[in-house]
Each structure stands twice: as C-alpha cells, then as structure tokens.
Amino acid sequence: MVSVDLSLPNWVEEWARGAPDLKVSPPGPKSKEIIAKDRRYVSDAYDRLFQFTMKKASGSAVMDADGNVYLDFSSGISVMNAGWSNPKVIAAIKEQAENLIHSMANDAYFDKEAEFAELLAEISPGRALESSFFGNSGAEGVEAAVKLSRYYTKCSEHIVFMGSYHGRVGNALALSSRVKFKYGHGPFPSGVFFAPYPYCYRCWFRQEYPSCDLLCIDYLRKAILEFGGPSGSLASVIVEPLQGEGGYIAPPKEFMPRLRRICDERRMLLVADEIQCGLGRTGEVWECNSTETVPDILITGKALGGGVPLGAIVAKKDIMNVWRPGSHSSTFGGNGLSMASGMAHVREILEERLAERSRVLGAHAIERLNEMKDHHEIIGDVRGKGLMIGVEMVKNKETKDPLLVPEIQGLMWRKGLLMITSGMYGNVFRIAPPLIISREQLDLGIDLFESAVTETEKRMEAGR
Ligand SMILES: Cc1ncc(COP(=O)(O)O)c(C=O)c1O
C-alpha cells in the first residue's frame, strides 16, 4: 500500500497553519457591524449557527472579519474537499473569467462542459454512467433526477427514506423528511413514500445488526411496496448512500446492493444522491463504490463545483437519451466558471488521492472518538466513513435521549473550532473537515471537542 502524506499542502497560507488563533472574543466589533446590517437587510431564513462572519479562508482554516482564525471541521458543508482557496481551483477560475463566464449552454456548445462530462463518465461507478446534465445546485440535480426517472419509466411515484434531505425546492423538498424544512410550504406533490433508513443506533424496529438481517429492507419490500400506498407507478428509489442531514448515518454494507436488487425486480430506477457524501468525502470517490453498487442516476453537487454553484446528474446513456432537446434546461447550467472550477477541483481530488487520505484520517479520527465515547456519558454514538463522521450526543447512554447541543457548539466556536450539527434531533456533530486537513490539525480539533464535552458534563453534573 502506498503511504499517504498527512501534512498540510505547501500552498496553505501561513496564517492558516496556526489555526485556531483568536485575536478578540468572537463576535468582534467588525463582525458585529456586519451581522447588524445583515439582520436588517437579509432574510432570517438562513439558520446561522454562529455569530460568525467570513473574511477569507485557506486550507482547513477560516478567518473572520476581526482577524480571528478558526479551524474548520465543516468544509462549508462538504464543499471545500480539496481545501479552501486551493490554488489550482483559483487559477482555473481566473483564467476562465478572463475568457468566458457565461457559456450559453442552452444554445451553444462549450469545450469545458464536454470535457467535464467526459471526466465524470470516466470516474462514474462501474464506469457505467456516461451522460451528464449540469445545473446550478444540488436541489436542481435532484429535480433533474426526478424528472428524468419519470420521463424514462413513464411512472410518477418515488420511494425515499426517513431522515432524508434532498434540498429545499419543489420535488426535492417533497422528497425530504423533516417537518422543520417543510412546515408552512405545502401542499407537496403526492406519490412520495418514506421507508425506514437503517439508522441502527436508533433502529426503527428495535433490532440489532446483523441479527436483524436488515428488517428495514424487508419492510420496504413487503409492507411499503405492497401495502404502503404506492399505486404501482413507481419511477425510482432515491437514496443517500450515506445519509447526511439525517445524522451522518452509514448503512450496513448490504443495504445498497439490496436496494439495487429491489429496483431491478420492480423495474424502478435507483437514484443515488451523493451530493454530500460523494467526491472523496467517505474515503471513496463515490460512496456507491464501497459496495460496488451501480445506480441508474447519480446526483452530485456541493464539492462538484469547488465552491462555485454547481449540481449535476450523471446517468446511464440509454436513460439520459430519452430526453429530447428542450426536455430540460437551465440558463446557467454548464457555465464557464462552474465548469472550470469544478473540473479543477475534481481533478485535484483525484490526483492528490484525497479519497484515500480521507479514509486514513477518518479511521484515525473514529478510533480516537470511540476512545472518547468510553469516557464520556454524553457521547452516545460515533459512526461514519472517511471524513464524514457523526458523533451523536445524548443525555445518557441508556435512555439515548437526545442532548441539546448549541451550548457545546458555542463553547467550541469560542475556542476557535467550527463544527456544525445534523440529525433528526439536531444532536449529531459532524466531523467533515477539508480532506487536506493535516493529522495534527485533526487531532487538535478533536482535543478541543473533548474539552468542550468535558466542560459540559461538569456543568450538567453540577446541575447547572
Ligand atoms: C444529500 C443532499 N441532497 C441535496 C442537497 C441540496 O443541495 P443544495 O443545497 O445545493 O440545493 C443537500 C444539501 O445539503 C444534500 O446534503
């Protein structure tokens, strides 16, 4: 096995190497000024976790308007996989901006769009997905997958999963499971059926893996498909191979192959939403590869654009080919900046073998976090793959009652560690740093996390 260099790349700026480094107690005066203006003029819909402003970023560190430097365990929600301000991505954007920003993908051909689609075909699971459609976000990719799967199968219903998140517009929101996101925005299209995701820590059926033999899949097959309401007009099963917003849940290895089998038997398409878990994050280029599952349509986004808005579907050729010119479209799809930036970012992930690096660092982090779990009553579960790790916080290990975590999160932020949450109860910390993070920085972040956990436990013991 080739060894992996786990130090920071040379291009990471000096100020970012010493993260975290807080100059003033956050939020400082400049940040407060920005936040006040934002509060006045920007919608409150964004769920800002920290009183935190973005000024610049490098590698795995982010600086706020007051010069405070934070260690970043979020990658901007799995976007900056090859590191913030990666020089190859910046160079590609600059060069492209000087030549062509808007490529008129609706009406003209563009070399980089064809080139990027070729690259995605070459790296697709089983090299079986040969045709791409580019849009501007993950949710647009989901919308495209829904439309294509209906167009191809001439069916209109979908199976999705409890805990799923597929985006905030139209069909993507209808396919998502949380009340918080859907509240007040209905009515939603009918024909969406929610199946239990293998959330083994809180098994829907109070079973244990592996003795359960994946009862949740059995339930999908025998209860939902037969008696759960579908009319038989099922177009697709849409699934996150490793659930993101649902709480960084890695399903047992049999899950995806069994879904594939059900789809084949019932003539439904298997759609893998790899928007959050794809592109090296889980230690594989695509999480589908870990079980050798070939979906019919793969949805990608987030890291795909290297920070420039981009989403895409990559599908089997015979499926994509059913769309006629005009069947689907987007003014900015395949635009100059997103193609140049995205291609540079994906190439960097491949050339620097960041999936492998993610696997090695992730295994190390999971080992450390599991040791921590043995010493801390409020750490209920540690799970995930590569650098997509979830740490589920509970009031105590026996009851598994979810612990409210904003306080721990605030403590970490004040220590200079950016860590965001997910999960159906909002109590799962995500460890998802840029994949170029050094082992040293990863350890430092875990130490900061542990100190915040210890402080919280002491306060809980004291009944405060
Ligand atoms: C699995 C998954 N699907 C879809 C989306 C929606 O992507 P976007 O926010 O780019 O529309 C997300 C975003 O978090 C996601 O994690």
| Any atom of ligand 1 within 6 Å of the Cβ of 274 | no
Give the mean model confidence (pLDDT) for residues 140-145.
98
Residues 378 and 322 in one domain: no
Same domain, yes or no, for 307 and 254? yes
CB 236 within 8 A of CB 193: no
**CB of residue 273 inside a 6 A radius of ligand 1:** yes
Cα 244 to ligand 1 centre (Å): 9
Cβ-in-10-Å burial (0-12, 13-18, 19+) of 311 comes to buried
Ligand 1 within 6 A of 298 CB?
no
Answer yes or no: do 413 and 376 share one domain.
yes
User: Do 366 and 347 share a structural domain?
Assistant: no
Q: Is 165 in the pocket of ligand 1 (CB under 6 A)?
A: yes
420 located within any domain: yes
**Higher model confidence: residue 1 or residue 22?**
22
- For ligand 1, the distance from its centroid to the CA atom of residue 278, given in whole angstroms, is 11
Query: For ligand 1, is residue 167 a contact (CB within 6 Å)?
Result: yes
Phi-psi region of 59 (alpha: psi -120 to 50; beta: other; left: phi over 0): left
Mean pLDDT, residues 95-106 taken together: 94
Out of 311, 336, 351, pick the residue that ends a domain. Answer: 351
281 lines ligand 1 (CB under 6 A): no
When pLDDT is averaged across residues 424-439 and rounded to a whole number, the result is 97
Phi, psi of 302 (to 5 degrees): 40, -100
Edge-first strand order for the sheet with 56-58 is: 56-58, 61-63, 69-72, 417-418
pLDDT reported for residue 414:
94
Boundary-marking domain end, from 321, 351, 381: 351
275 lines ligand 1 (CB under 6 A): yes
Residue 7 lies in a domain: no
Cis peptide before 241 (omega within 30 of 0): no
- Convert 13-70 into a string of H (helix), E (strand) and C (coil): CHHHHCCCECCCCCCCHHHHHHHHHHHHHCCCCCCCCCCCCCCEEEECEEECCCCCEE
**Letter for the amino acid at 116?**
F
| Judgement on whether residues 50 and 190 belong to the same structural domain of the protein | no
The reported pLDDT for the residue numbered 391 is: 98
CATH number at residue 363: 3.90.1150.10
283-315: pLDDT as tens digits? 999 999 999 999 999 999 999 999 999 999 999
* Structural domain boundaries, residue 57: 14-82+353-461
pLDDT in tens, 354-410: 999 999 999 999 999 999 999 999 999 999 999 999 999 999 999 999 999 999 999
Q: Is residue 445 located within the same domain as residue 396?
A: yes
Question: Rounded to an integer, what distance in angstroms lies between the CA atom of residue 350 and that of residue 344?
Answer: 10
Residue 137 Cα: closest atom of ligand 1: 10
- 152-203 confidence digits (pLDDT tens): 999 999 999 999 999 999 999 999 999 989 999 999 988 999 999 999 999 9
| Contact between residue 152 and residue 269 where contact means Cβ atoms under 8 Å apart | yes
pLDDT tens for 103-130 read 998 899 999 999 999 999 999 999 999 9
Which residue, by CA, sits nearest to atom 3 of ligand 1?
A: 166
Q: How far is the CA of 276 from the centre of ligand 1 (A)?
A: 7
299 alpha carbon – ligand 1 mean position (Å) = 10
Distance (Å) from CA 175 to ligand 1 centroid? 12
Residue 27 included in any domain: yes
**Any domain includes 419:** yes
Work out whether strand 388-393 and strand 428-431 pair parallel, antiparallel, or are unpaired.
antiparallel
Q: For a pLDDT cut of 90, what percent of the chain falls above it?
A: 95
- CA 385–ligand 1 middle distance (angstroms): 19
Residue whose Cα lies nearest atom 7 of ligand 1: it is 138
- At 227-258, the pLDDT tens digits run 988 998 999 999 999 999 999 999 999 999 99
In the predicted structure, residue 133 carries a pLDDT above the cut 90: yes
The β-bridge relationship of strands 69-72 and 234-239 is unpaired
CB of 334 within 8 A of CB of 310? Answer: no
What pLDDT score does 4 carry? 86
Query: Is 54 a domain residue?
Result: yes
Which pLDDT score, from 0 to 100, does residue 161 have?
A: 98
pLDDT-based confidence at residue 2 (cuts at 50, 70, 90): low
Asked if 191 and 309 sit in the same domain, the reply is yes
How much distance in Å is there from the Cα of 238 to the middle of ligand 1? 13
Domain assignment present for residue 2? The answer is no
pLDDT at residue 1 greater than cutoff 80? no
- pLDDT score at 106: 82
Count of domains for the chain: 2
What are the pLDDT digits (tens) for 44-87? Answer: 998 887 888 999 999 999 999 999 999 999 999 999 999 999 99
Residue 3 domain flag: no
Nearest residue CA, atom 4 of ligand 1?
A: 166
Q: Provide the 10 A C-beta neighbour count for residue 201.
A: 15
Q: Does any ligand 1 atom lie closer than 6 A to the CB of residue 240?
A: yes
Residue nearest (by alpha carbon) to ligand 1 atom 13: 167
Protein residue whose Cα sits closest to atom 6 of ligand 1: 167
Residues 70 and 152 in one domain: no
The closest residue, in CA terms, to atom 16 on ligand 1 is: 276
Ligand 1, residues 249, 276, 277, 420: which to mutate, most atoms within 8 A of Cβ?
276
Q: Do 314 and 456 lie in a common domain?
A: no
pLDDT, the chain, mean? 96
Answer yes or no: do 195 and 51 share one domain: no
Q: How far away, in angstroms, is 325 Cα from ligand 1 center?
A: 27
Ligand 1 centre distance from Cα of residue 166 (Å): 5
Answer yes or no: do 22 and 149 share one domain. no
- Model pLDDT, residue 274: 98
From the CA of 44, how far away is ligand 1's center (Å)?
Answer: 19
Report the distance separating Cα 84 and Cα 437, nearest Å: 10
